[in-house]
Chain A
Amino acid sequence: MSSKSLIGTVNKKGQKIVDPEYLFNEAPRERFFMTGSEVVKEAIRRASVDISVSYPITPQSEAAALVGELWVEGYVGDYFRGENEFAVMSECAGASFGGARVFTTTSGPGTLRAYENFPMWVGSRLPIMINFMVRGVNSPLSIQPDTLEIGLVIDTGMLIWHAETAQEFYDYLLKGFLVAEEPDVHLPIAICIDGFFVSHTKDDVMITPIDMAIPPYDPYRSPVPCMDMEVPPVRMMRDPFVMKSNYISYATQASWQQETRAACERSRKHTVRLLGGLIEEDRSDAEILIVSSGTALAQGREAARILAKEGIRVGTVKIKTIRPFPTEEIRQATKNARLIFVPEFNVVGWMAREIKACIPDNHRVIAGPHVAGGMTLPPEVIVDEIKKVLAKNKEAIHG
């Protein structure tokens, strides 16, 4: 039975299972003013989630507790608190192997503690959704937003989307399941938001009706058998090829790793259909561009607004999906730009690195400004950086 065949039926909470295209494009929406944590509750309420496992860590604890409320209300099939984040992610894997739609949340140190599981989810083709409410992972300790955490998971093989606002967050949580569960993708998906800036911030969100839900996960659409001990991917875990130095083991490593990366790339077409593109451009024909993701881009929008009042035209390019990385889209969007500023909330500037690696003439990329460890990035700081570089360039040209 395909999950589509459930469209039109009613679930145990009396929610009508609707065609996702209808839900996203046509269903009426009501405006709410709520925090990102509350957004999680409302999205997951409508997401036909079978199980969620949680463990407390700031800033995602409220969201995790709210998903627990959903379980009490009967909207989520099962819910429990794991022993720690490593256990949580392993338990998520077990549930997903068993054919369940799985949702979990974590932050910062929790993400790192659980890390080993993420590439394992990928290799096992488990379409688990994890919400990273990102925060500092460094010492000195910080619970404040810092996107280094995203930079550390970008090469695990998961799909990684970064929401800028509460509204995007709501939509990504619902749409993410659909892309991740496509048979030609079937990979875990990380929906990232900046801790506090989105999780604890009250913002306007347009919410779909409470009595409508997306179709449940259909494990029979999985490209790999669920939980069959004798065939990949479970067979690979039961009886690791790495133990046998033979041709088959090498071939399997090479082909399977390439296949999971290819699966990530194949998510593009589904993502474009649901998100309207992997990037979002605003006046990207400008000579000066701000390119980034999440709150860093939001701060960039405010900076562009300030500069516009002073007669300096600045465009923005928002990166919605960090994996797959919108390489071709960024090349196109930045082709006329003279200066490309990449503001970031982390100390290393990994986003600037990513952009530099994919465009020609990458001396155009200015990695910054960036702040770290929970520092704020006021639009005025971005404005100053842009003016400083412009003044220096003028000097260089006019002597």
Chain B
Amino acid sequence: MRRRINLRMSGLGGQGVVTSAHVLATAASKDGKFAISNPFFGAEKRMAPAESYVRIGDEKIYDRGELVYPDVIMIFHPTVITMGKCYTMPFYDGIKKGGLVIINSDKPLPILEENLKFLEDQEVPIFYVAATPMAVEVAGTELATNMAMLGALMGATDLVTMESMEASIRDRFGKKYVASGGTATLDEAIKKKFAKKEQLLEKNMATVRKVYDLGADWIKTVKSPVLV
């Protein structure tokens, strides 16, 4: 694994793009690594483009802000690519050689041939994962899409341990958390879906684990080395 992994997560407001970055970075921190996560968004509203960035490494990280040269790009919604709901065009701009793209879609997206060729030349495989259907299936809510995306990443890369991820999710959802208005509303919405907080934590973790397995299976099919 590279000494520093930079991740860019692009999605739509309300999908948990910011939350998953914080949860992932917290897990990495619990693993004893250096980590930093920060969000980037305009007006805070559902369906508006939202991005977040995570940097994980084995030495102190100073770099922060919008990530221009990522190792991993995670696309939380197909329209990030198909409708350009993104701060970065094209979506893969700046991707490093031997990186990884994870897209939440149950089928390959109509990406231009020349763009696919570019990614192929850069030896960047695309992992299509049906994160939202998996979230609905396992957790019973599409609000767990971000958990599914984290599971996909972990399965494909083992970037953080399952123990730390569980502890991190517990940190975020297990206690009172003060956030902005939009985030607080969604926190309330997801809590209402479950009778008990413990159930919410369990379903989130079940989603992570289920999609982890898909990621672990997928990475075996990739011929070029990823993040090496």
Contacts of A380 in B (CB 8 A): 68-69
Contact B25 A202 (CB under 8 A): yes
CA distance A378 to B34 in the complex (A): 19
Cβ of A66 under 8 Å from chain B: yes
The reply to whether A302 and B63 form a contact with Cβ atoms under 8 Å apart is: yes
Of all A-B residue pairs in the complex, the 7 with the closest CB atoms, nearest first, are A376-B66, A201-B38, A298-B62, A33-B29, A301-B62, A302-B63, A378-B68
The reply to whether A298 and B178 form a contact with Cβ atoms under 8 Å apart is no
Given contacts A33-B29, A62-B180, A302-B62, contact A202 B36 (CB under 8 A): yes
Provide the bound-state CA to CA distance between A299 and B44, in Å: 27
Q: Which of A35, A197, A203, A375 has the most CB of B within 10 A?
A: A203
Within the complex, the shortest CB–CB distance from A169 to chain B, in Å, comes to 13
Interface residues of A toward B: which range?
20 to 34
Whether B65 sits at the interface, judged by CB under 8 Å, is: yes
**Which B residues lie within 8 Å of A202 (CB)?**
22, 25-26, 29, 35-38
Interchain CB contact under 8 A, B25 and A33: yes
> What B residues does A33 contact at CB under 8 A?
25-26, 29-30, 35
Contact of B178 among A65, A145, A198 (CB under 8 A): A65
In the bound assembly, the distance between CA atoms of A295 and B36 in angstroms comes to: 13
Contact call B29/A197, Cβ cutoff below 8 A = no
Q: Contact: B69 with A196, CB < 8 Å?
A: no
Known: A33-B26, A203-B36, A299-B62. 4 other contacts (CB 8 A): A196-B40, A197-B65, A202-B35, A376-B68
Determine if B42 is an interface residue (Cβ-Cβ < 8 Å): yes
Q: How far is the CB of A374 from chain B (nearest CB, A)?
A: 9
B-side contacts of A298, CB under 8 Å: 62-64
In the assembly, what is the distance between CA of A191 and CA of B109, in Å? Answer: 47
Q: Which residues 1-40 of B sit at the A interface, judged by CB distance below 8 A?
A: 22, 25-26, 29-30, 34-40
Q: Counting CB contacts under 8 A, is B112 at the interface?
A: no
Q: Are A201 and B40 in contact (CB under 8 A)?
A: no
Interface size class of B (residues with CB under 8 A): 20 to 34
Q: Is A200 in contact with B62, judged by CB distance below 8 angstroms?
A: no
Q: Within 8 Å of chain B (Cβ to Cβ): is A23?
A: no
| Interface residue from A62, A143, A197 paired with B64 (Cβ < 8 Å) | A197
Interface membership of chain A positions 352-394, coded 1 if the CB is closer than 8 angstroms to chain B and 0 otherwise: 0000000000000000000000011111100000000000000
Which residues on B sit within 8 Å (CB–CB) of A378? 63, 65, 68-69
Q: CB-CB contacts of A215-230 with B at 8 A, as 1s and 0s?
A: 0000000000000000
From residue 161 to 202 of chain A, which have CB atoms closer than 8 A to chain B? 196-198, 200-202
Q: How many cross-chain pairs have Cβ atoms below 8 Å apart between A and B?
A: 68
Chain A contacts to B: CB under 8 angstroms? 33, 35, 58, 61-62, 65-66, 69, 143-145, 196-198, 200-204, 295, 298-299, 301-302, 305, 375-380
Q: How far is the CA of A305 from the CA of B59 in the complex (A)?
A: 11
* Chain B residue with Cβ nearest A198: B64
Write out the residue numbers on chain B whose beta carbons fall within 8 Å of the beta carbon of A201.
Answer: 36-38, 64
Shortest distance in angstroms between B83's beta carbon and chain A's nearest beta carbon?
22
Q: What's the Cα separation between A66 and B179 when bound, in Å? A: 9
A144 — which chain B residues lie within 8 A by C-beta?
Answer: 40
Return chain A residues, CB-CB under 8 Å to B68: 376, 378, 380
B residues in contact with A377, CB < 8 Å: 65
User: Measured between alpha carbons, how far is A66 from B37 in the docked complex, in Å?
Assistant: 20
Within 8 A of A (CB), among B142-197: 178-180
A50 to B63, CA, bound (A): 36
- Give Cα A377 to B69, complex, Å: 12
Smallest CB separation, B174 vs chain A (Å): 15
Contacts of B62 in A (CB 8 A): 298-299, 301-302, 305
A378 to B29, CA, bound (A): 23
CA–CA, A69 to B175, complex, Å?
Answer: 14
Q: List 24 A-B contacts (CB under 8 A).
A: A33-B26, A33-B30, A62-B178, A62-B179, A65-B178, A143-B42, A144-B40, A196-B39, A196-B65, A197-B64, A197-B65, A200-B38, A202-B22, A202-B37, A298-B62, A298-B64, A299-B64, A301-B62, A302-B63, A305-B62, A378-B63, A378-B65, A378-B69, A380-B69
In the bound complex, residues from chain B placing their C-beta under 8 Å from that of A203 are 36
Nearest A residue to B184 by beta-carbon distance? Answer: A65
Would you give the 0/1 interface string for B52-96, flagging 1 where the beta carbon is closer than 8 Å to chain A? 000000000011111111000000000000000000000000000
